[in-house]
Amino acid sequence: MSQVLFFAVKFVLVLSLAFYPNVAPAETHLSSYSLQNTVYQQDENPLFTNEEILEIKLSMDYGALLKDRGEDSKYHPAILSYTDSNGLVTVMNLKAKVRGNRRRDPSVCAFPPLLLNFVRKTSGQTIFNKVNKVKLVTHCINEDYVIREFLVYKLYNVLTNYSFRVKLCRVTYEDLKSKRKTEKRYAFMIEDDSEMAKRNNSELVKKELVINMRETDEEAMALLAFFQYMIGNTDWSVPYRHNIELMATDPLSPAIPVTYDFDYAGIVDAPYASPPPELNITSVRQRLFRGYSYSPNTLRKTINTFNARRTSIYGLYKQEYDLLDKSYLKRTMKYLDEFYETINDPKRLDKKINKVGQKNQEKYVVVKGLE
């Protein structure tokens, strides 16, 4: 009991430093796209609710940008332009820098992910008027993996609003100084973490506050853990905040985990992705449950949610059929089938999820490099 009280006091003290009163949760409504997929919330950023592919040109000195890949990479001046629905060209100044963990390494990604920092003075009357900073996931080594990871974000959108919105783009990269050839590639933008929290009437929990899985909202945590199992992703950690954000609706409420960064997921199957040796699995395609055990009620709700969204989950891949390789699409449908066979078979569920979750709760395997 004393440990629980200590956590509650610590949680309130730290979180209240950056927390402000919230309004009541906004009502949700459906867009034409969300009738089969995402349920959008009221007053969301139209940049992310519009499902059309965004065509933009990003012009800058790519020679200087691609040499600046260190942990302390700096912003470089850039120009972004696009043509609106009326045929008018909009041009704005902004800053861009290399971001990411593994993908900033030139041996992994020839073209690393970027962070775009918009200037309010020039973006106020544009489609980016509600954007401050936005992550841009680029083609790295191959556009196929951009589409695959983009769809994983959309999968999580189908399951919960406690997820990051994304925007699929076709970016023309124009080099203003070197002789690098202009190229046009798929990419996608990711909603800023603070905007994601605000959309959910929440505040981000400061990273200084260490919270483990048992101390989070049980239903949100179970949904996240099952989702990671579905996509074959072990590259995440709640206490170490690895590919996880935490937010809360008020200082006394359990933190809600939100996941991101799925290039190491088996469903994406990036060629550079490999599981950590501590987990004793041979491939990222090999599923391993990394959550805890959950109450029967939460377990039932979680499985019901996945079953209720099954048609929409499969529909996402069929909807993007023209962007996906046929063999990959076939493998992915089978991969999803195997997940649903597991959660709907009591024996498989008990062996692969329930008992593994109990073992995780007793002694969790920490991946080297996170501690």
Dump pLDDT digits (tens) for 196-229. 999 999 999 999 999 999 999 999 999 999 999 9
Name the pTM for this structure: 0.88
Q: Is 273 helix (H, G, I), strand (E, B) or coil?
A: coil
Q: For the chain, what percentages of helix, strand and coil (3-state, to nearest 5) are there? A: 40, 20, 40
Q: Write down the pLDDT at residue 30.
A: 28
Whether pLDDT at 297 is above 80: yes
Give buried/exposed letters for 37-63 (b at 16+ CB in 10 A, else e).
Answer: bbebbeebbebbeeeeebebbbbbbbe
Q: Write down the pLDDT at residue 42.
A: 64
Integer Cα distance of 81 and 319 in angstroms: 28
Dump pLDDT digits (tens) for 225-268. 999 999 999 999 999 999 999 999 998 999 999 999 999 999 99
Whether pLDDT at 31 is above 50: no
**Residue pair 120/114 in contact by the 8 Å Cβ criterion:** no
Cα dihedral angle (358, 360, 156, 195), rounded to 10 degrees? 120
Dump pLDDT digits (tens) for 81-139. 999 888 999 999 999 999 988 899 988 999 999 999 998 777 888 999 989 999 999 99
Q: Write down the pLDDT at residue 26.
A: 32
Answer left, alpha or beta for residue 43, where phi above 0 means left and psi between -120 and 50 means alpha: left
Side-by-side strand order, sheet with 244-248: 203-204, 244-248, 256-259
**How many helices and strands in the chain, by DSSP H and E?**
12, 10
Integer Cα distance of 149 and 186 in angstroms: 12
